[in-house]
């Protein structure tokens, strides 16, 4: 019954009509038995029956899923009302769309900038240190680059941080095209060997930098970003030892 009133509403409604018709016929038959004419019997039965539309409505209200039907009806009315005033409808939809769009855009920014934690271990314990230029104490000299010597001195005297690592963004470097690939500009950064261990991340493939890489005599070593590796080296594992 529950399923029938959900999926076969038309059939259930026809059944209800049938049921009520039967009642009416019974009443007419009874009236005729008391000696009324066919016409009189029918009229009297209809009189005692009351308002059939109202009765149908009241009965349907007892069915399950009536709320679903009502929601459906409200939605249909809504569309019909909007369809009658297309200008207003378009404007309302536009305003709501803009509102939703603006909210989504704003939230995306807020989420990535403020809410989403950095993808490192213990992101709440990470800080960035800068040197501040002394001469005129203006903002121009804020965020000064820390010299290597200063860094090693900081590292020696450090009691506050569990580790210190140095990082500096490079100016764009170019990667020449080979094998039909176009040359491209790359964003790179230089760092001390312990940057990744300080951040608590590990390269997916190959090895991390080691202390041995961090001397003047060592060869330059690079770690590629995942996207560059896939794009330019075709997920080629042997490029671990490739000399660039």
Partner 1 sequence: MGKPSDLVQGTLDLLILKTLSLEAKHGWAIAKRIQQVSGEVLQVQQGSLYPALHRLEQQGWIKAKWMESETGRQAKFYSLTAAGRGQLETETANWNRLSAAIDLIVSQV
Q: What is the 3-state secondary structure (H, E, C) of the chain?
A: CHHHHHHCHHHHHHHHHHHHHHHHHHHHHHHHHCCCCHHHHHHHHHHHHCCHHHHHHHHHHCCCCHHHHHHHHHHHHHHHHHHHCHHHHHHHHHHHHHHHHHHHHHHHHHHHHHHCCCCCCCHHHCCCCCECCCCCCCHHHCCECCCHHHHHHHHHHCCCCCCCCCEEECCCEEECCCCCCCCEEECCEEECCCHHHHHCCCCCCCCCCCHHHHCCCCCCCCCCCHHHHHHHCCCCHHHHHCCC
Residue 25 Cβ, how far from partner 1 at the closest point, in Å?
Answer: 7
Taking the least distance from each CB to partner 1, the nearer of 63 and 154 is 63
Residue 64 Cβ, how far from partner 1 at the closest point, in Å?
Answer: 5
User: What are the residues binding partner 1 (CB under 8 A)?
Assistant: 1-2, 5, 15-16, 18-20, 22-23, 25-27, 29, 49-51, 54-55, 58-64
Residue 11 Cβ, how far from partner 1 at the closest point, in Å?
Answer: 12
Taking the least distance from each CB to partner 1, the nearer of 51 and 144 is 51
Residue 77 Cβ, how far from partner 1 at the closest point, in Å?
Answer: 24
Taking the least distance from each CB to partner 1, the nearer of 27 and 192 is 27
Taking the least distance from each CB to partner 1, the nearer of 18 and 170 is 18
Residue 58 Cβ, how far from partner 1 at the closest point, in Å?
Answer: 5
């Amino acid at each position: 019954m529950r399923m029938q009133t959900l999926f076969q509403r038309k059939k259930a409604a026809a059944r209800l009509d049938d049921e009520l018709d039967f009642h009416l016929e019974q009443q007419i038959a009874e009236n005729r038995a008391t000696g009324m004419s066919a016409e009189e019997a029918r009229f009297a039965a209809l009189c005692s029956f009351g308002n059939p539309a109202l009765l149908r409505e009241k009965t349907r209200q007892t069915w399950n899923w009536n709320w679903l039907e009502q929601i459906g009806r409200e939605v249909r009315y809504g569309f019909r009302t909007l369809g009658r005033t297309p200008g207003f409808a378009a404007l309302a939809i536009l305003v709501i769309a803009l509102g939703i769009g603006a909210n989504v855009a704003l939230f995306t920014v807020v989420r990535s900038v403020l809410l989403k934690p950095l993808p490192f271990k213990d992101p709440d314990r990470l800080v960035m240190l800068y040197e501040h230029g002394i001469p005129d104490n203006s903002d121009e000299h804020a965020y000064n680059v820390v010299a290597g010597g200063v860094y090693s001195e900081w590292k020696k005297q450090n009691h506050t941080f569990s580790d210190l690592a140095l990082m500096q963004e490079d100016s764009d470097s170019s990667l020449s095209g080979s094998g039909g690939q176009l040359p491209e500009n790359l964003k790179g950064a230089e760092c001390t060997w312990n940057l990744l261990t300080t951040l608590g991340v590990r390269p997916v493939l190959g090895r991390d930098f080691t202390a041995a890489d961090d001397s003047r005599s060592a060869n330059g070593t690079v770690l590629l970003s995942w996207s560059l590796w896939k794009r330019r080296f075709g997920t080629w594992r042997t490029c671990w030892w490739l000399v660039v």
